[in-house]
Structure 1
């Protein structure tokens, strides 16, 4: 039937069409303007992207609010009630959609956004009490516990809000702890993991209490879990306890260079169950915490970053050993990563071999995380160059073979080597 209710519906449909037209005209311009923003923080750019995606709601809220204000002054309030309700709902939906972006988890964000949309719609339609009573009647009772659909939905919303808040607080706390240079990396890991466990555990506990779930009735379940931990989860518990010990005694921390058996690399991260070790080849080993506690581990950077490396070489007996030692020290000192202070390179004679005088060259580096083989190779190359320049020879085994053939003898030829062996 014709009347103001029908007229308001037609006006709302017209406002939707007009908002769609304005969206089509302004969205490309807003996108080009956003791309030209340089130096803006990421949160502003994300907010601008979300506003661009909701341009239809933005324009409809503005147009509907403007028409509602005009009709309030021109006509009676009852003749603009539906338009005002549409303007209010669109504005609330827009606000909820933008505010939900604070939740980083996509699934949790979608659940929270849809729940708030439904709740706000029912609230402004004055249907919240009827729906609440209906959901409360949908209940299951076992013993003295009564769980209704309303309590489950409320608990899920509360749990989602608490988990989002726990996640936000954990990130803020972690960022502040990382900036504090007075706290060691191992204690930073221990503190952040403890706070994370506490906040998430508290959020789950409050969510369970919100639906009226009595956690004290789980004593029997706790006993079963304890037995399972004692028999089936020994390794898991051992790794967890070992990880806690590693964090407390600070024997291993992120950035340390370690050797465990044939594995050599640096600590990338510490977790509750394993330690991530990255090798020079780019391989990532996940070593259980228990192995680091029970086995012998070489930590090259435990107390400091200084590491001594040894190189063995030999020169001919005709070369002056005093000159060889001086040249070797000079060559090592000229390599970029080799330290000259406080520990200078040294070179010593370690023996007289069969064909060479044997030396050991010792030098120190302060950045083992940059690799050991490459700096050894650079020192060897420097030795080669400086020995070539100063006519220092590096001997290698040589053998002279002479063949003796007696033309009058019918027997086989004899082969005599330089060391006197015959064959």
Structure 2
């Protein structure tokens, strides 16, 4: 009897040891979580006027160059006709004055001055256009930054409510459904913060680009002005009396008429609002019969094939992650489907785990942000969807 007890005890101990060993060898699968995001592109009215046609609707798939809306052209067509007539009149006077001189060298000198004048006018127009774009981008940046700050405050508020809800849930004071609803509110607030942060970055980039365009236009204008001075000096040697001043004045009149005509044509072209890229319209802010103000955002679109999500990799695991590696993505909306993504970038600097991670221990860890570009399932996935990510290596699953 005693031997049987000893044997039973040894068998039981061996079984427990084997089970414990198995549990140590089999590490549970660890998924990374994130929220799907999209790059939003504002479509702005570059001229103002009555919207006569607006065929675009929210959720519509659009192609680059596709017409979204049309602003009344009547005023702008009249401006083009007036500018063309003014140019023709100025050119006729110049041709008449030039016909009075038979010297080919004088004609060549006049052409050089005229070319320099045209270049100066063109750079002036470019500088003015860039200045208008700069003012518009600065205004948009201010608006988006204000919205961003508001979204961050909302996120902080929702996070504090989630902390309270977690405490209540642990005590059984609220249901799991209420607790998860608050978690979803935090996720939505975080998505809004991320989207507005991307808009702020894009707006600041447009501001910098406009500043660079202004500097380039002014530099080219300075070069043209120097060339003009040299051309005028050469022409002065070839001409006598007041004839030179008369022709120069006529050259200036033609150049001015050219600039006005270019501006009028540009404004007429901008009455047709077109999609800047392939994508999906997320929001519309104008309807037929409304008056569009210059600089106002008429539509907001999401570029096609530009869905992404961000996850955080612990510092100890960073060496196992490489740009270009594939990932598996799952979302609650399609529980039986696996979508494919590819690691697009890895942050250069570490940061503490974001506050929306639930466990305090996890929030104190250093992590690196990893951005994943979604390559499959773009027709099903939508911005704001929570997603679970499993990283893959070239040899197979991680």
TM-score interval w.r.t. the shorter chain?
under 0.3
**Whose relative contact order is higher, 1 or 2, with alpha carbons under 8 Å and at least 6 apart?**
2
Q: Taking structure 2 as the reference length, what is the TM-score of the superposition?
A: 0.23
| Rg (Cα) greater in structure | 1
